Structure 1
Amino acid sequence: MRVSLSLLIGAAIAFLAPASIVQAATATTSFLVTATVLKFCTVVATPMAFGDYTSSTAALSTSTITVTCTAGTGYDIGLNEGDAAGATVTTRQMSGTTVTTARLNYFLYSDSGRTVNWGNTVGTDVVHLTAGAVPIISTVYGRVPAGQFVAPDAYLDTIDVTVTY
């Protein structure tokens, strides 16, 4: 095997060269890291069951609405009038499931004294809150007033919960 003289001389020079000639080099840069946090809310509600009703006494019940929003987000919780034809947010109506023309009036409130109607108009009759670090649970207070004489039946309604943020 033949090795050229110039290759041997180059290898010898590299071996004998001072350390200051052979140095490591670096190059650096940086990059920007970004994210945009958007306003976002989720909502979950529990059923409201009044149980057995007789016209002699009012029936009371509650439901809870759990809202989880991005921290610092202001929001309003509104409750619509329900599914019964002719119902309003001030007088909601459950419909009979077998006697379809029968209606049982009920009311929804935002306070435990059952005096503040809970409606669906932002700035008027909704609940306004600001999200923190944990979900906020709001209670809906319901009342079926005494003195309603309706046919025996199972009555129901569906309330839509709207969170505006």
Structure 2
Amino acid sequence: MTTRFRKGLSLALFASLLTPTWLGAATKTTTFAVRLTLTADCNIAASDLDFGSQGVLAANVDQTSTLSVTCSTSAPYQVGLDGGNAAGSTIANRLMTNAGAATVQYQIYRDSNRTQVWGNTPGTDTVGGTGSGAAQTLTMYGRVPPQTTPAAGTYTTTVTATINF
């Protein structure tokens, strides 16, 4: 064997070791489905309704806050508010209390004129809409009416917002 022939053979052998064996192999394919099932769903979040710091309650104290509703596209919804957790509070007569059980009356309305009380009976005194898949903002219009001013202190209640869809 000549040196030239041996070099050529060595290079051919080396090249064959570097060449992947799969290059000459056959191939086959398959397909598969990708699936996601979405159900009608909604999420709700609320910001606090804060009437601030007041002195004598001789005139209306108005404030607004918002609810954020995110529902599946085309899902109809109704948002209701309960009367709050203060003792004796109802939707018609909402109350905030302090630590000594004194109360301050307030109300939450569905409209900026503050004439439509926001309750929790779907289709009657709730706020409805249709989901868009994105967050939708609903405004709550609060009012503390003139009333006999109780003792100084912090008056609170917790209102539950419910979304029916």
TM (normalized to structure 1)? Answer: 0.78
**Which residue pairs with 2:60 in the alignment?**
58
Change (3 A) 1:76 1:53: farther
Q: Distance in 2 between matches of 1:158 and 1:143?
A: 16
TM-score by length of 2: 0.78
Cα deviations by residue, 1:82-120 (Å, 9 ceiling, x for unpaired): 0112111121100013x22x1111110010000011001
Matches within 5 A, 1:6-45: 29-45=30-46
Cα–Cα, structure 1 residues 60 and 53, in superposed 2: closer, same or farther, change >3 Å? farther
Q: Is 1:141 the equivalent of 2:125?
A: no
Shift of 1:33: 3.3
- How big is the shift at 1:133? 3.9
Identify the residue that residue 122 of structure 1 maps to in structure 2.
122
After TM superposition, the structure 1 = structure 2 runs for residues 80-119 of structure 1, keeping only pairs within 5 Å, are: 80-97=82-99, 99-100=100-101, 102-119=102-119
3-state DSSP class of the match of 2:38?
A: coil
8 Å CA contact 1:64, 1:138 repeated in 2: yes
What is the deviation of 1:54? 1.8
Task: Give yes or no for contact 1:82–1:157 (8 Å, CA) kept in 2.
Answer: yes
**Percentage of matched positions with identical amino acids:** 39
Distance 2:33 2:64 in 1: 50
Q: Which residue of 1 aligns with 2:161?
A: 161
Quote the offset at 1:42 in angstroms.
1.3
Deviates more, 1:29-38 or 1:112-121: 29-38
Task: Give, in whole Å, the separation in 2 of the partners of 1:111 and 1:93.
Answer: 20
Aligned length: 141
Query: Could you say which structure has the higher helix fraction?
Result: 2
Q: Report deviation, 1:53.
A: 4.3
> What whole-Å deviation, never above 9, does each CA across 1:9-50 have from its counterpart, x for those lacking one?
xxxxxxxxxxxxxxx876555433332111121111111111
Aligned position for 2:9: none
RMSD after superposition: 1.8
- In structure 1, stretches of 5+ residues that fail to align are 1-23
| CA–CA separation in structure 1 for the residues paired with 2:124 and 2:91 | 12
In the alignment, the residues of structure 2 paired with residue 44 and residue 110 of structure 1 have an alpha-carbon distance, to the nearest angstrom, of 17
Q: 1-side partners of 2:116 and 2:158: how far apart?
A: 20
Residue 40 of structure 1 aligns with an amino acid whose one-letter code is D
